[in-house]
Structure 1
Amino acid sequence: MPRFSSYDSTGLAYHVIGSGPPLVCLPGGPARASSYLGDLGGLARERTLLLLDLRGSGESATPEDPTTYRCDRLVDDVEAFRQHLGLDRMDLLAHSAAGNLAELYAARFPDRLARLVLVAPGLRAVGVETVGFAEAVDARSGEWWYAPARAAMDAWQEAAARNADPEEVAALRTAAAPFAYGRWDERARAHAEAEQWERSPVAAAGYYDGFSPDVDEVRAGLARLDAPVLIVAGELDPAPTPAAARQLAALLPRAEVAVQGCASHSPWVDDPARFVRTVLTFLSAD
């Protein structure tokens, strides 16, 4: 497995899957091992996926300074990764919480991106509210799993608001996992269950610890981004909803939103073929 030393000598690992032009991939979670992305529904058949394990997660080393887990500090790891790969400009894909990291990177290094794909991205860095969250949760009320998952979702939101112990929050996340998938089938359950050993509690706790972005500055940086941006939103995803994804797109000069029907927070799991077709069409456009 390849490794490199980041700006502070922390050893970071990454995984190389597939063939074709390189696509740098940042995992969400936060702090979930990049292995959960798999081959992104078959995207590796056309692109070489370079899956970075963020510091303290997956196969990457634990840093000496725990404050470097914070997502705005991780921007320097992404830039160090680009330099290590020898890419002047890179195609970058980020999922979920890593959407915040990618947004911060794009604001600081707009000239280093060729294309940017944000899959169900986090929105804290840009100050966009998760509009339509309650309505998206209510829309799943006909599902067989709804009652216990809804109770867990409500408890999760309450626990997060009071900064509950990470173990309490993690258990509620797991119980509310059906909302993250278009179908709560065997494949989705296996994908969700793997999170318990793929996610680093310490790195996850530090990802947003003390995070207080200068939203105006981030938005100003993104306004200078000339690279095309694709935002993939699941039709059923409560956070971000398609409406929230469109608000993010409005902050970017060259952004488009693709809403994947019958999908939620992990669209490459819900419908791999459609996800791959959408992303490849974007990445190969002139």
Structure 2
Amino acid sequence: MTSCQDAEMPPAITEHRYTADDGAELGYLRRGPGQAAADPLICVPGGPGADVRYLAGLGGLDEHRSLVLVDQRATGRSPVPQDRSRCVYTAQAEDLEALRRHLGLETIDLLAHSAGCLTALEYAAAHPERVRRLVLVTPAGLLGREPDEREVAAIRADRAGEPWYAVAVAAERELAAGGVDPAREEELTLRTVPFVWGRWREEYLELYHEPTQDAPDWYRAVFYSGAPAPDARPARLARLAGSGARPLVLGGGRDGVIGTAPARRIAELLPGSRLVVLPEAGHRIWHEEPKAFVAEVLAHLDA
């Protein structure tokens, strides 16, 4: 058992494993009170391929619910598969079904962030009878990464007066040009992280220096390769709309990573969805607006 020092009484954090359908031993963490509780909240990280520990206690949500923090394939405590196709988001939805069975749950409450929302939506479409409540936090899209680039550009341009802006833009241009040495790539990426936040604070940079076990460089392209071809998109969209999922969809009005367009589109497509956009928040709402985030999520879970 390990401990975390982000509260006066650190929440219990324990490491666990379960067996996927292909025999792989995948990992997850349990965090919060009542770890043997029958109503855990399964949490899928974004990235894609980010170490799930960045979710931390989700703004204090772990004080109310036992969190099951999923290690995606090739991240954290889950091994890199020989068959890379197991890292496609559509395949990882079946890992969630194996986890449900492992936990002995008839239905699950499921929360996902950013790119992880693709996995959660795929699971809800494939196993609609197994999803009790669904929460999508700053989702990347419905079928792949689908921002409105004009909206994202406008959100970023609105920050032009901030002291870090010119350095961040120059770093992004250098990264986009390609051919950057790996050591310098990490340095440049860190210069762009203020775009993740609605209100940048220097202490946020510490979050990006914490030890992590993120996925390999190839992971991102493989993860998104599950997006359907143009001619298959209507059927996939119909399948999602017919899944019965009525999620709470949370967006950040100053999200310089993905904007609000994907969240709005999901809420429009899935009948009964509830969209909440926090106007001053960025991509990690639970850090910037923890009280509002926890209140909205708990209201949805307890409805």
TM-score (structure 2 length as normaliser)? 0.84
Q: Does structure 2 conserve the Cα–Cα contact (< 8 Å) formed by 1:117 and 1:230? A: yes
- Any runs of at least 4 consecutive aligned residues in structure 1 with deviations exceeding 6 A, and if so which? none
2:194 paired residue among 178, 197, 201: 178
Give 1:6 shift.
Answer: 0.4
Report the number of matched residues: 280
Deviations 1:164-203 (CA, angstroms, capped at 9, x unpaired):
7894765543321111012222442122333x73422246
Matches within 5 A, 1:25-174: 25-123=43-141, 125=143, 128-130=146-148, 132-157=151-176, 159=178, 167=182, 171-174=187-190
1:124 to partner: Cα distance:
5.5
For residues 273 and 142 of structure 1, the distance between their equivalents in structure 2, rounded to whole angstroms, comes to 28
Contact (CA 8 Å) 1:249, 1:257: kept in 2 or not?
yes
Deviation of 1:261 (Å)? 2.9
Q: Deviation at 1:211?
A: 3.3
- The equivalent of 1:257 in structure 2 is 275
SS in 1 for 2:50: coil
SS in 1 for 2:29: strand
Give per-residue Cα distances to partners, 1:56-96, cap 9 Å, x unaligned. 11011222212211212211111111111111111100011
TM-fit CA distance, 1:283: 1.4
State the partner residue of 2:302: 284
CA apart distance, 1:40: 0.4
- Post-superposition CA distance 1:192-249 (Å, at most 9, x none): 333x734222463454363332422321111112233011111100343224321121
Q: 143-152 or 8-17: which moved more?
A: 143-152
- Equivalent of residue 286 in structure 2, options 263, 268, 271: 268
Pick the aligned partner of 1:13 from 24, 27, 33: 27
Identity of aligned residues (%): 35
Q: Distance in 2 between matches of 1:171 and 1:217?
A: 42
Match of 1:144, SS?
coil
Q: Give the distance between the partners of 2:220 and 2:185, measured in 1 at CA.
A: 11
Secondary structure, aligned partner of 1:143 = coil
**Aligned counterparts of 2:103 and 2:181: Cα–Cα separation in 1:** 34
114-123 vs 103-112, which deviates more?
Answer: 103-112
Would the alpha carbon gap of residues 209 and 260 (structure 1) be closer, same or farther in structure 2, given more than 3 Å must change? closer
On the 8 A contact 1:23/1:93 being kept in 2, the answer is: yes
RMSD across aligned positions (CA): 2.3
Counterpart position of 1:210: 225
CA contact (8 A) 1:74 1:101 kept: yes
